[in-house]
């Protein structure tokens, strides 16, 4: 028995040694690159949110007949302090982007009628851009059309509305935007709508109003994706209570990594498997890097302090602020930060509920190494380094997004006989 014990221990130790490398072994850089490349070849990136249409409005006043979307690097204007756009056909190709939700965003406008018109203008300019570059892009409205376009080597181009004020608090307008091609709507932007609270505004409604819940129901009936980026946690919960189709977060991170109100709390992530929705992870540095978020708070506090200390002397305040900035350099966000958010969502909700929603051209710059849309392959290499399989990377890149689209379309088909909801938030006054 004494002679057998060492052999048993040796066998056990050998088994543990063989098992340990399988758990702890790191993938080589060559393997990581090969895995990422294979994944993106099989399933190109389906990006949930790009603000190029907003750039066309702010930079060009939507006058695009002479605009070159093949290469937008010359759009930089250093004299005006304006960098180049993040998006063009060359960099989309480098970034392995196969499908794109173009955000037909307009700034928050309390005049909802004006917002309706402006959104129509953004739909127009986006469709015109897609048509001008039909050799590279294809306008699509369904999941099947997305897959066909990608197989044909075209960037499948869809429309997503950002900011519920764009419907003028009217379900008839919502239906017409769907008819124009809008396939998701973000219920709010940075400010509350008359029927939903935003994440970055003081709560007014305590979540969704009754009309807001009807908005979600009607979007489900139509097959329009309900986008919960930008909304308050209570609106997220209310929407999940009402929704009968998967929801999306078109460009958000995980609040468990960076507690920014624009990110998704674990309480909501835990409900995603039951709903079937996805978080399309954002690349905006201030949403994904807590050091940077805290630095912003300190900077803003110092600005306020110096205005008081140098009251009546703005030049002295500016000089002092320059000195503070020199001594307190801005932290940098990296690709690793984006991957950390993906890791967290995978842990809480599962890999089936992760997508990509960069928010390019809606921010000054992306993280170091992902400054523009060309950086997506680097993110997938980082995920491969962390042990994500090719199948998991394909899910994150586009398969999850396609699944969600198909589920929304299937639900709409299942209720095709249901009548449109006719609720209005502000019934017109009766004539006297």
Distance CA 268, CA 271 (A): 5
Distance CA 321, CA 299 (A): 9
HSE, CB side, 13 Å, CA atoms: give it for residue 372. Answer: 18
> Taking a C-beta distance cutoff of 8 angstroms, is the pair 89, 162 a contact?
no
Annotated catalytic residues are 49, 51, 162, 189, 230, 251, 359
CA distances from 179 to 21, 125, 131, 175 (A): 55, 16, 18, 6
Distance CA 250, CA 279 (A): 7
């Amino acid at each position: 028995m004494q002679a057998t014990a060492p052999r048993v221990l040796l066998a056990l130790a050998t088994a543990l040694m063989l098992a340990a490398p399988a758990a702890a072994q790191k993938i080589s850089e060559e393997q990581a690159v090969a895995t990422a490349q294979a994944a993106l070849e099989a399933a190109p990136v389906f990006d949930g949110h790009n603000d190029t249409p907003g750039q066309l409005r702010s930079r060009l006043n939507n006058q695009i007949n002479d605009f070159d979307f093949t290469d937008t690097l010359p759009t930089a204007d250093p004299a005006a302090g304006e960098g180049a756009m993040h998006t063009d056909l060359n960099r989309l190709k480098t970034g392995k982007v196969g499908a794109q939700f173009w955000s037909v965003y307009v700034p928050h406008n309390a005049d909802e009628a004006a917002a309706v018109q402006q959104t129509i203008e953004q739909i127009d300019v986006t469709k015109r851009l897609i048509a001008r570059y039909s050799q590279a892009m294809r306008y699509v409205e369904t999941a099947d059309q997305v897959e066909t376009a990608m197989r044909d080597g075209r960037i499948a181009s869809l429309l997503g509305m950002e900011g519920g004020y764009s419907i003028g608090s009217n379900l008839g307008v919502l239906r017409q935007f769907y008819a124009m091609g809008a396939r998701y709507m973000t219920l709010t932007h940075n400010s509350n709508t008359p029927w939903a609270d935003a994440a970055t505004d003081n709560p007014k409604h305590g979540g969704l109003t009754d009309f807001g819940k009807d908005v979600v129901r009607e979007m489900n009936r139509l097959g329009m994706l309900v986008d919960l980026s930008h909304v308050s946690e209570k609106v997220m919960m209310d929407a999940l209570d009402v929704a009968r189709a998967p929801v999306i977060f078109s460009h958000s991170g995980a609040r468990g990594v960076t507690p920014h109100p624009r990110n998704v709390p674990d309480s909501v992530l835990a409900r995603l498997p039951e709903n079937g929705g996805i978080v399309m992870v954002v690349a905006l540095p201030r949403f994904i890097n807590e050091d940077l978020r805290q630095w912003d708070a300190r900077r803003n506090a110092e600005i306020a302090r110096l205005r008081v200390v140098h009251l009546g002397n703005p030049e002295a305040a500016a000089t002092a602020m320059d000195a503070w900035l020199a001594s307190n350099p801005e932290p940098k966000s990296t690709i690793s930060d984006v991957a950390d958010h993906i890791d967290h969502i995978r842990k809480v909700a599962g890999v089936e509920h992760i997508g990509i929603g960069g928010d390019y051209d809606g921010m000054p710059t992306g993280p170091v190494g992902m400054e523009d849309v060309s950086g997506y392959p680097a993110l997938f290499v980082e995920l491969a380094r962390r042990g994500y399989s090719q199948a998991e990377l394909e899910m994150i890149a586009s398969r999850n997004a396609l699944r969600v689209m198909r589920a929304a379309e299937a639900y709409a088909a299942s209720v095709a006989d249901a009548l449109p909801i006719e609720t209005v938030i502000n019934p017109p006054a009766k004539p006297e």
